[in-house]
Amino acid sequence: MVMGRQPCCDKLGVKKGPWTAEEDKKLINFIFSNGHCCWRAIPKLAGLRRCGKSCRLRWTNYLRPDLKRGLLTEAEEQLVIDLHAHLGNRWSKIAARLPGRTDNEIKNHWNTHIKKRLLKMGIDPVTHEPIQKDTKAEEICSRDDGVINMEDNSSSQTENSSCEDSRLLENICKDDTLLNSLWMDDPPHIDGASRNNETPDENVSNIRLPFGEDNCSWLLDCQDFGIQDFGIECFNDVEFNTLTTLEMGEGKH
DNA sequence: AATAGGAGCAACCGCGGAAAG
DNA sequence: ACTTTCCGCGGTTGCTCCTAT
């Protein structure tokens, strides 16, 4: 008798690299029908030559119906910065405060955008303290003005769309109770609606997703979904759109 | 027009904690 | 109580696209 759980997925014949539209379709089909109770079993059952881990990653980071995608708004960026100041590199915790955003997405955005911007502003992205003059970072900042301009421009482009979010963020900051709860181990969820002081049930149904033009159209049908709960029954209404979109070859891979 | 370098992002890797047996 | 595996997380890699030369 073998101790512990059953053997892990065999690494032999497991495919790596970018996912194809066909693979996406298989995974979505399976999860629509069966949910994702056991990632290890999914590849075999769904007819995928992938590791269960890879399936989970693909689902959580790309295929989940509630994902926003697109650039983070200014308000979201500011929230990430504030959360990072208190939580550090705990991306999953940070992502939990931004509905529709994944830890991977936030991590990438931090490393490629926010970190640089903080450096330009003379703020240490690790400590969130002002950088002392004559430090290396300061020298780098003063030399590279081009990037500042680019980021300033991109900021102005999202100004209108994030205006409402900014007000919501202000409300969070004003609310000491809410803010304090953010830093606790298991605080109440902060999402788009709770910033409006709505009830949790309303939160779920009123989340507005500012989709960009490259977002999947089928995601629009998922705005009414609960963020945490992906019961199988939830997918019935969107399955058609999802598969249609995939068949149109929207998948990048 | 060609190409080198940089930026952005999807995906993989390895680790630690939790859970199953 | 212990071993083995799963799951989730954070760090890292590598591919693709864009831009400057």
Q: pLDDT (tens digit, 9 = 90+) per residue, A152-198?
A: 333 333 334 444 445 545 544 444 444 444 444 444 333 333 333 33
C chain positions with any atom within 7 Å of a protein CB:
2-12
Nucleic strand C under 7 Å from the C-beta of A6: yes
Kindly determine whether the C-beta of residue A85 is less than 7 Å away from any atom of nucleic acid strand B: no
Distance, CA of A141 to CA of A79 (rounded, Å) = 23
Residue A212's φ and ψ, nearest 5 degrees, are -85, 175
Tokens of A128: 């969130």
In angstroms, the Cα distances linking A192 to A112, A134, A172 are 24, 41, 11
Bases of chain B below 7 A from a protein C-beta are: 7-14, 19-21
pLDDT of A96 reads 87
Euclidean distance between CA atoms A240 and A244, whole angstroms: 6
Separation between the CA of A217 and the C1’ of C1 (whole angstroms): 53
| CA of A5, C1' of C3: distance in angstroms | 10
Sign of CA dihedral A21, A22, A23, A28: positive
Q: pTM score, two decimals?
A: 0.65
| Residues of chain A falling short of pLDDT 50 | 1-8, 135-165, 168, 171-242, 244-245, 247-253
Å from A107 (CA) to B4 (C1')? 28
Token output for A92 = 């999953």
C-beta separation of A154 from A112 below 8 A: no
Q: How far is CA A173 from the centre of its chain?
A: 22
Say if residue A2 is exposed, middle or buried (CB neighbours under 10 Å; 0-12, 13-18, 19+).
exposed
Question: pLDDT value at position A44?
Answer: 85
Could you tell me the distance in Å between the CA of residue A251 and the C1' of nucleotide B3? 29
User: Is nucleic acid strand B under 7 Å from A62's C-beta?
Assistant: yes
* pLDDT score recorded for residue A38: 82
Contact A189, A95 (CB under 8 A): no
The answer to whether strand B lies under 7 Å from the CB of residue A3 is: yes
Which two three-digit tokens encode residue A22?
Answer: 């066909």
Count of CB atoms within 10 A of residue A156's CB? 10
- Could you tell me the distance in Å between the CA of residue A3 and the C1' of nucleotide C17? 49
Cβ(A220)–Cβ(A66) under 8 Å? no
Beta carbons of A53 and A66 less than 8 angstroms apart: no
Element (H, E) at A166: helix A159-174
- Say what the pLDDT of residue A100 is: 87
Measured from Cα to the C1' atom, the residue closest to C14 is A17
